[in-house]
Amino acid sequence: MMKNFPLTPVEGGVCAPKGFSAAGVHCGIRRNHSKPDLAILKADVRCAGAACYTTNKVYGAPITVDREHLADGHAQAIVVNSGNANTCAPNGVQLAHDVCKLAAQALGVAESDVLPASTGVIGQAMSIEPFAAGIPDAAARLEASPAGSLAAATAIMTTDTHPKQAAVEFTLSGRTCRLGAIAKGSGMIHPNMATMLLFITTDASVAPDVLQTALSAVVPATFNQISVDGDTSTNDTVILLASGLAGNAPLQPDTEDYTIFLTALTQVAEQLCRELAGDGEGATKLLECTVTHAPSLQVARDVSKSVIHSTLFKAAMFGADANWGRVLCAIGYTPGDFPIDHVSVRLKSRAGEVFVCENAAYHPYSEEEAAKVLAEKEIDILVDMGCGDAEAKAWGCDLTYDYVKINGDYRT
């Protein structure tokens, strides 16, 4: 675990750091006029940029363009649409390029500094028309304010029930810095990199390679540890832009400042992980599984993810049923060779804690007490493996009737 540094939560999401403005509008990709479907995030200056993408072999056309445009480590704007994933769609890469061209014109930035992103249905043709009107509209509404970030966070939502933002303030080489983010999640969430779309800004001065190193260090412990439904999306994208406008000395690896930056990034990431998992499609409960005393970091991560990914355990949590045998079962089928004889399991929430399993066997507890604990909205599953000192967390949600309802007829 990282040291604690003074990190102050602040308002404003991606517009909290200096030099970023954002907007969200409805441009007609979705038929529903009350649902914004296009967001722009723009930086005042050319930023260092880093990204992580889905590991799915089927991936969205925007990711092809992002890889190309971020090859030089810099970017200045992000254009995101919801309602269509631009994946397995005809002429998808050309369309993503056309979107960048429109944004470059409207924003006065280089086309190769624009990063596109899309989320929505896979395999449907996307038209450039909505963008032709929507991009100038959004460009005219850009705001370097909490309202701008909120508008963008709202426009990237699909089945999310609320927009997701986070931001923190910290100090690097005596200068006040900020890091903020917006995210969308909800379904097709089992990132093998990161959840669907996540955009992070900072005004810290960080060179592209250091920025990528930091992002790549934080993603496996945070966004890769969420699962809503076990389906790794084709469009997962995390982009981190650093404007440098805070004026700190450029961040160097292996310094205390670097640790502070990693801590800030981790804190924002963990907050969004909890929000993304808790707002999983149909979810009524956030599940956080913490594994301690594991023989290795990999086992700790795999076991925690296995537990929050178990369909049977997720359904039991929906029913507030302390069926801990399903936790043991999920631990047991986690790949890898590790002992299970010393596993203990506790279920915890605001209402209390019940010790349900000791040494991989039943530990006496009150079903009444367990029902009280599991009636809460946020449930911690504490797994002590008793055979090492590695630890990890994973986040998920319960499996509900509404998940089935939402996904039984997603396209209509």
Nearer to a copy of itself, 229 or 270 (CB): 229
CB of 92 to a copy of itself, least distance (A): 9
CB of 77 to a copy of itself, least distance (A): 28
Of 242, 223, 243, 241, the C-alpha closest to 233 is 223
Enumerate residues 174-203 that contact a copy of itself by CB under 8 A. 187-188, 192
CB of 67 to a copy of itself, least distance (A): 17
Nearer to a copy of itself, 311 or 366 (CB): 311
CB of 16 to a copy of itself, least distance (A): 33
- Decide: is 121 part of the binding site for a copy of itself (CB under 8 A): yes
Contact between 196 and 184 under an 8 Å Cβ cutoff? The reply is: yes
Residues 46, 52, 57, 60, CA torsion sign: negative
Count CB neighbours of 386 within 10 A: 18
Residue in 81, 165, 234, 263 binding a copy of itself, rule: CB under 8 A:
234
Of 19, 21, 39, the C-alpha closest to 29 is 39
Nearer to a copy of itself, 395 or 403 (CB): 403
**Contact region with a copy of itself (CB under 8 A), list: 19-27, 208-216, 382-390, 399-407:** 399-407
**Contact region with a copy of itself (CB under 8 A), list: 55-63, 103-111, 136-144, 271-279:** 55-63
CB of 338 to a copy of itself, least distance (A): 8
- Decide: is 125 part of the binding site for a copy of itself (CB under 8 A): yes
CB of 319 to a copy of itself, least distance (A): 3
Site string for a copy of itself, 88-117 (x = CB under 8 A): xxx---------------------------
* 47 vs 76: CA distance, rounded Å: 6
Q: Could you tell me how many residues of this chain bind a copy of itself (CB under 8 A)?
A: 63
Using CB atoms within 10 Å of the CB of residue 278, give its burial: 0 to 12 exposed, 13 to 18 middle, 19+ buried: buried
47 Ramachandran zone, left/alpha/beta (phi>0; psi -120 to 50):
beta
Nearer to a copy of itself, 146 or 280 (CB): 280
Residue in 94, 361, 378, 389 binding a copy of itself, rule: CB under 8 A:
361
- Decide: is 375 part of the binding site for a copy of itself (CB under 8 A): no
Query: Rounded to the nearest 10 degrees, what angle do helices 297-309 and 325-332 cross at?
Result: 130
Enumerate residues 290-319 that contact a copy of itself by CB under 8 A. 309-312, 315-316, 318-319
For residue 263, indicate whether it is catalytic.
no
Residue in 20, 324, 365, 395 binding a copy of itself, rule: CB under 8 A:
324
Q: Which of 54, 119, 159, 195 is catalytic?
A: 195
Nearer to a copy of itself, 45 or 67 (CB): 67
**Contact region with a copy of itself (CB under 8 A), list: 42-50, 143-151, 232-240, 247-255:** 232-240
**Contact region with a copy of itself (CB under 8 A), list: 68-76, 97-105, 206-214, 395-403:** 395-403
Residue in 2, 58, 140, 375 binding a copy of itself, rule: CB under 8 A:
58
* 271 vs 291: CA distance, rounded Å: 18
- Decide: is 59 part of the binding site for a copy of itself (CB under 8 A): yes
Nearer to a copy of itself, 271 or 344 (CB): 344
Residue in 108, 253, 332, 352 binding a copy of itself, rule: CB under 8 A:
332
Contact footprint for a copy of itself (CB under 8 A): 55-59, 85, 87-90, 121-125, 187-188, 192, 229-234, 309-312, 315-316, 318-319, 321, 323-326, 328-334, 338, 340, 357, 360-362, 399-401, 403-412
List, by residue number, the catalytic residues. 195
